Structure formats: structure tokens, C-alpha cells
Amino acid sequence: MRAVTIRDNTLVVEERPDPEPEGGELLVRVRAAGVNGADILQRRGGYPAPPGSPQDIPGLELAGEVAALGPGTRRFTAGDRVMAVVGGGGQAELALLHERAAMPVPEPLDWPQAGGLAEVFLTAHDAIFTQAGLRPGERLLVHGAAGGVGTAAVQLGRAAGARVTATVRRPELRPAVERLGAHVIPPEGFGEQGPYDVILELVGAGNLAENLRSLATGGRIAVIGVGGSGPASEINLLSLMQRRARIHGSTLRPRPLEEKALASRLVEREVLPLFETGAITVPVAATFPLDEAEAAYERFEAGGKLGKIVLLA
């Protein structure tokens, strides 16, 4: 198979041995695989794949057809369209994944949408519902809402009956995020539009003080990205106490199979039906052939996109 490979902090696309499925695993003929911030970090040498995943083939999410079944599998058959979060190895023509991490692809979705869905929708759903416990009627603020996780979170919040506010730095991207169901504002002075019950932080610690000040009593902050303004900040714990608030931090990638499988079952039950009806979608900013992975990563890093960058294998 051909696979994107990280060598000395650069990407090459080269021939690799075909993997073979073991107990409970599916071999998937990958059709599409989204690019995520973790891939960018991993290429720089900063975010190694968890044990058991390919160490030098990036790619945290994929979609494709089941090509072969390992012993003891029972959820899918050959030819089924599946998508999943994987610990790595998604950006290749073939990938292995445990069948309990796989989800069926909703019928209305094409390959680029399916290949860019799993990581961002699992991440957003886990953060705003499983962790932060967003409830109907609550006010959700999504920071950095034009990206993959941001567009997912805006749509999920809206579909759950929350009132969604979103910060988007680039003016030209704001109308599209408005159309996804958010009241869109610039990042500067976002606290004046509060208070918020749940804040999804995708940008960094630079927002933390204003996040806390604009949080309602009983509010929750879910931090799942700090690439924009970095990880370090001052915090006033009295401010947290007075609001009876909490701050969650999370990443999806290092979780064990059982936790990823649980999160996938929740997404199957609570999110995939929304794709079937067309209530939500996966915005795809651009696609690139697997051979142009380097260009795709450059496009991802350049920012200013709405939604996902997806590789087609």
C-alpha cells in the first residue's frame, strides 16, 4: 500500500507492506482521511502516536470500505462503508482498526465528509455533552469556531437546543459559521456577550481569564485545544469558586480502545441520525490526493479555512 510517512519532520508518500487484521480488527480500504492539528504536531516530532498504532504514518481519522475481516469480528461485513478515529495510520491506502471503534457512514455523506467526520465530531460531542453536560436552552460559546471541531460543536450545540455564540477571527469566514447556527462575533471582547453556561476552548490559555469572568453560575469550560495562544495562563481560583464552575481538559487520541469505543457508540446514537436527516453536515474546505499530503498540511497550517482538509486515498 501507499502511505504518508513522517521522516525527519517531513512527509513522504511511499510503498509500505499491507497490514493484516488480527482478532477483532477490520482492514479498511481508505478513501478519505482528515488532517488534524495532531498530525501537524506529530510531523514536527511533538506528539508521538500511542503504543499499538503505526508510529510514522499520521492520520487520526478515516473513512473507507471494509476490505478484510480479522478473526472474531461481527459488526461489519466486507464492502461496508465505515469511518473511525484511529490512534494513527489513517493517511494510507489501507488501515487497521478495531471494529468497535468503527461507525457506519451515514448514507448522505460522501467520502470527503465521512473521512473528516470522526475525530472532530467525537471530540466536540465528548467535550460539550459528556464532559461539560450541555443542556437544552443553555448558552454555549465556541472559540475558534471556523475549524473542524468548531464547526462540529456549533452544529451539535444548535441541534441540542442550546443558544450558540461563536468567535471567528477572520471576518470572511463569519457568514458561513452564522449559517451553521451560531451568533458569530470577533474574539475581542467576547465576554461582553456572556454570560455563558458552557465554553469550548479551541484556541488557548490566552482566553482563560475572560472565559472565567464571563461564565454563568455553574458554568463549565472544556479545553481541548491550546495551539492558538499557548497552554500557560494565570488563573484566579476564587473566581472559579464564586461561579461554582469547573474546567475540563481533554484529548481524544491517548484514550484506550474501550473509551474510544464508548464515545463512538454515543456518536452513533446521538449524532449520526442528524446526518441522515441533513440537520448537520461536515464542512470540507479542501481535498488533496494522498500524494500531495505536504500541500494539504500546508493548507491546514495556513488557517483561514472553513471546516476540514481531507486527503483522498
Among 10, 235, 265, 277, binds a copy of itself (CB under 8 A): 235
Interface residue with a copy of itself among 40, 240, 262, 266 (CB under 8 A) is: 240
Residue number with CB closer to a copy of itself (129 or 275): 129
CB of 58 to a copy of itself, least distance (A): 19
115, three cell numbers? 473521512
The residue from 21, 87, 194, 204 that contacts a copy of itself (CB under 8 A) is 204
Residue 50: CB minimum distance to a copy of itself, A: 12
Q: Is 226 in the site for a copy of itself (CB under 8 A)?
A: yes
Binding to a copy of itself (CB under 8 A): which residues in 244-273? Answer: 244-251, 254-255
Given candidates 223, 280, 285, 296, which one binds a copy of itself under the rule CB under 8 A?
Answer: 223
Separation between Cα atoms, residue 88 and residue 174, nearest integer Å: 32
Contacts 24+ apart (CB under 8 A), 153-156: 153/124, 153/127, 153/128, 153/200, 154/180, 154/181, 154/182, 155/180, 155/181, 155/274, 155/279, 155/280, 155/281, 156/121, 156/124, 156/125, 156/128, 156/129, 156/271, 156/280
Inter-residue contact 88 to 53 (CB < 8 Å): yes
Residue 170 engages a copy of itself in binding (rule: CB under 8 A) = no
Cell numbers at residue 254, please? 491517548
Cell of 281: 453536515
> Alpha-carbon torsion 122, 29, 108, 101, what sign?
negative
Interaction of residue 48 with a copy of itself, rule CB under 8 A? no
Total residues interacting with a copy of itself, rule: CB under 8 A:
31
The residue among 113 and 211 lying less far from a copy of itself, judged by its C-beta, is 211
Q: Smallest distance, Å, CB 266 to a copy of itself?
A: 16
Contact present, 244 and 267 (Cβ < 8 Å): no
Chain residues that interact with a copy of itself, rule: CB under 8 A = 131, 201, 204-205, 208, 223-224, 226, 231-251, 254-255
